[in-house]
Amino acid sequence: MYSLSIPFCAAALTVFLFTASRFFSDSRHLHVDEGDSVSGASGSAPVSQQSPILKEIKEKHRELLPYYTESTKETFLKVQWKERGDGDSDSLTNHGLARTKVKDILDVEESAGTGMIGCVQLSYFKNVDFLGSGYTKAVLKAVSPEGLPVALKSVNDRGTDMKRCLEDFGDVEGCYELVSYKLIKEIMLLQRLQHPNIIKLQGHCQGRDWGSGVTAALELGSPLQMIQLLQSPWEERFRICLSLVRLLHYLSISPLGSVALLDFQPRQFVVVSGELKLTDLDDASTEERSCRTDSDCTLTFPHRNFTFPCAAGGICEGLNEKTNLYNAYRYFFTYLLPHRAPPTLQHLIDNIMNSTGELRSGINETLEGFEEILQMYKSGRYLNNLPPSLLRGYTLVKGKRPVDSVDYRCWPSYNHQGCVLSVHSAREAAHICSSHPQCTSFSVSSQRTWTGRYLASFRSGFRDLIPDVKSALYVKKVCGSEAVA
């Protein structure tokens, strides 16, 4: 969703056009509210008629029912009572009632929170830039008066969903309402599903008219760039996979039940301070598939099919969890997890790859496997077989650091211009240096990674040393004279 970037001039023009279209749409809303009519492609028509788009809106509204919180149930029941005036408890007499209903729900949710961004605060946001757009929503970056950067999501009036709706119904007003339901669903889900690996809802705004007036303010993240991740150190790639597994474990036992991500793609995620976070929830589902036979519980993927038992209650129990887990395997684990992993951890990684690739294990067992790898990696237990004598081949020079060093590149490195890797200790750094033919020295810094490991720099030589009380330099004894020459 955040992946599209454009030059400044184009961004400014896009923001202007987007704002202008919103203003034009708001004007249409005001006219419709006053005239109590629905504007279509060929003019106005009485809204008392049950138009096809109204039926679609009613259906979308019913889909939101599972996501109401306790604070919105009373509001919903009051509004639903108004519908019974015409004797049909399921009917919406016009678009205005649909707007009132969802607007009331959002207003209750907004007022229930504390410190949340609302319509008043949004009016003071500045430095608005276009981030990207998708089928349904457009995303802008903005900065609050307090300096908090956020992502603002609203209806993409030039998106595929809007264009398809206009082609089908020719109703601008109704299409804004229909397309907005995805964003409203996302807001409701973000209020109910709160986890460190789900993007944080900072607030939302429901303007005088709903539809194009719905805006969600979200924690700002960076687009997930798989190509960059493939070039990053294994520790960072493992972190992304671990974040995903922790998220999927939460979704399997969420307050709404087991949640399936129906549109499971890397573009549905962003990265915030190194952590993977789910940012698009509009295609999430809390319903498990119903079944009569085992064949009804078949998961179909491009290259694999899996069939699971149909439970006694006629439900494919655990299918949501299995769907998420296999998608994690094929979109993330396959590319990020095995490559360049520490050799002594490879057997544990292979177990995870085999069990998830064949769906022999559930999310609980997968999370346990990841946590075991994390603990071994952080504690250095995977290094037990390294001989203690490794450091004897190096001369320790304390309080000095090299200048004009001759660096070499290794992959993957924290510094693409040199060889900087994370290590648990100087002993592991000595093991790495000994395995690199060009390495003649290394230094271990006080800088640490997210696991608490140290960053070590490896060099092929240097010309001189200067005082540095924080530095500890290790020089190979066999080529130490060459290194300090």
Specify the higher pLDDT residue, 79 or 416. 416
Comparing CA positions, the residue from 447, 446, 445 lying closest to residue 457 is 445
Binned at pLDDT 50, 70 and 90, residue 106 comes out as low
Question: What one-letter code names the amino acid at 198?
Answer: I
What SS3 state is found at 186? helix
Burial class of residue 483 (count of CB atoms within 10 Å of its CB; 0-12, 13-18, 19+): buried
Question: Cβ(276)–Cβ(224) under 8 Å?
Answer: yes
Residues identified as active-site: 263
pLDDT mean over 355-370: 97
Per-residue pLDDT band for 445 (boundaries 50, 70, 90) equals: confident
Where would I find the H helices in 143-225?
160-169, 172-192
Helix axes 234-252, 319-328, angle to 10 degrees: 170
pLDDT higher at 119 or 323: 323
Mean pLDDT throughout 407-431?
Answer: 92
What was the pLDDT predicted at 79? 41
- Hey, what are 382's tokens? 């995977």
Over residues 226-254, mean pLDDT = 96
Give the model's pLDDT for residue 399.
87
CA 385 vs. chain centroid, Å, equals 38
Between CA 258 and CA 251 the distance in angstroms is 6
Q: In the structure encoding, which two tokens stand for residue 317, read together?
A: 């129990």
Position 6 scores a pLDDT of 35
Would you say 451 and 422 are in contact if contact means Cβ atoms under 8 Å apart?
yes
Q: Band of the pLDDT at 97, cuts 50, 70, 90?
A: very low
* Separation of alpha carbons 201 and 198, rounded Å: 9
Give per-residue pLDDT as tens, 36-83: 333 333 344 443 355 788 888 888 888 888 887 665 554 444 444 333
Q: Which of 136, 34, 28, 49 is nearest to 91 (CA)?
A: 49
Q: Please tell me the total number of residues recorded for the chain in this structure.
A: 485
In one-letter notation, the amino acid at residue 326 is Y
Q: Which residue has the higher pLDDT, 36 or 359?
A: 359
Instruction: Name which of 102-111, 152-161, 240-249, 395-404 the model is least confident about.
Output: 102-111
- Please state, in angstroms and rounded to a whole number, the distance separating the CA atoms of residues 35 and 46: 10
